[in-house]
Amino acid sequence: MEKQALLFLYSSVLIPIFITCAAVDTITVGQVIRDGDSTLVSADETYELGFFSPGSSRNRFLGIWFKNISPQTVVWVANTEAPLTNASGELRVSHGGLQLFNGNNTVIWSTNSSGSVSLVARLLNTGNLVLSDQGILIWQSFDHPGDTLLPGMRIGVDLVTGKGRHLTSWKSEDDPSAGPYVLWVAPDGYPQLFDTQNLDSKSRFGPWNGATFKGMPDFGGNSIQFVFNDTGRYFGYNLVNSPQASRMRLKPDGDIEYLNWINLTQSWNAFSTATNDNCASYSICGPYGVCNIDNTPACSCLDGFEPRNAEEWRRADWSSGCQRIEPLACGNENGYGDSFLILLV
């Protein structure tokens, strides 16, 4: 018979009960996930939540990974900036929400969300860790993405509250703390995404053409979604062609790739990467330059413009851009003036 986790009250003190029985997807107030003893597993056994050490690191983190995929592939980390130095971590559900404790019984990470004795934390089949109180959602991991975008997740900005969601690279494969690269949705102007390095633009994807962003990875026929209205701008994707697992990741080097898990080879296949299109590199052709990936070289000047530094352009360094061949003729005495031309790109 499968054992059940029970809560006992003694002298009005709630005694934590450690989950040591069969795999469960839910913990409630008073229950604990302890490093090395137990994990949460989604109902369909796609995702697992527990403690892990990335790469060659000995530090311990609370995270979510694909349960049946080896090597371990982590898609979300809680305590990115507060690693545990040993296997003493405990995840608890309390009136203060989800809380992660170290061996000194100190909270090192929390959802900062209070609730009643009815608080429930559940790992969904989507990989989303949700915290609810009497059926009302009060926190979810999908609102706090790391370096990975899963189907059903969204990054973007709420234009009413100003709250944003973005992808942040790991520092390295051994360190999930925040790296220098961030993928975010522009809150104004044309609908587009930016990949920045230490706040400097590295790549720009867009503008949105109704189906995709120019330069973004090919999602293999899956449904790319972009919400663009007065209240918010959000980017995400849903599965239409259903591999066993898929993910989009912002790597520690700033590259973006879309990967599918291939059962036959038992490996991740990088279906496409954002670096396939060099024109996605931000300002690669400089001011008044035009980039076309089908041309060689990819950069050229607008009609009526010439390279600002011809020697640099011959070395395939187009960053200085282009300049007018002749100055503007605004209001000249002959009555001829400059006008706008339609540029199709």
| Residues in a beta bridge with 183 | 167, 195
- Does residue 105 have a pLDDT over 90? yes
Examine the domain organization and report whether 133 and 200 are in the same domain.
no
pLDDT for the residue 336: 57
Task: Confirm whether 336 is domain-assigned.
Answer: yes
Span of 99-103, 167-171, 237-241, 297-301 with lowest mean pLDDT? 237-241
- Does residue 64 have a pLDDT over 50? yes
Task: Confirm whether 217 is domain-assigned.
Answer: yes
Examine the domain organization and report whether 262 and 158 are in the same domain.
yes
Examine the domain organization and report whether 117 and 192 are in the same domain.
no
Examine the domain organization and report whether 86 and 123 are in the same domain.
yes
Domain end point (choices 111, 143, 175): 143
pLDDT for the residue 278: 67
Pairing of strands 31-34, 17-18: parallel
Domain end point (choices 277, 299, 328): 277
Task: Confirm whether 153 is domain-assigned.
Answer: yes
Q: Which residues lie below 8 Å from residue 55, measured CB to CB, with a gap of 6+?
A: 172, 173, 174
Domain count, the chain: 3
Q: Are 305 and 288 in contact (CB under 8 A)?
A: yes
Pairing of strands 97-101, 90-94: antiparallel
Examine the domain organization and report whether 273 and 287 are in the same domain.
no
267: domain CATH number? Answer: 2.90.10
Distance of alpha carbon 288 from alpha carbon 307, whole angstroms: 9
- The more confident residue out of 83 and 337 is 83
Distance of alpha carbon 55 from alpha carbon 59, whole angstroms: 10
Domain end point (choices 227, 250, 277): 277
- Does residue 187 have a pLDDT over 60? yes
Examine the domain organization and report whether 37 and 109 are in the same domain.
yes
Domain of 268 in residue numbering reads as 148-277
Q: Give me the chain's average pLDDT, please.
A: 86
pLDDT for the residue 158: 93
Examine the domain organization and report whether 26 and 131 are in the same domain.
yes
- The more confident residue out of 16 and 139 is 139
What is each CA distance from 282 to 35, 62, 86, 185, 189, in whole angstroms? 43, 35, 42, 15, 16
Encoded tokens for 199: 């706040």
Task: Confirm whether 59 is domain-assigned.
Answer: yes
pLDDT for the residue 333: 56
**What pTM was estimated for this model as a whole?**
0.78
Span of 273-277, 290-294, 312-316 with lowest mean pLDDT? 273-277
Assign 295 a pLDDT band (cuts: 50, 70, 90): confident
Encoded tokens for 93: 């559900």
Q: What percent of the chain clears pLDDT 70, i.e. is strictly above it?
A: 87
Q: In this structure, what are the phi and psi dihedrals at residue 84, rounded to the nearest 5 degrees?
A: -85, 140
Examine the domain organization and report whether 272 and 323 are in the same domain.
no
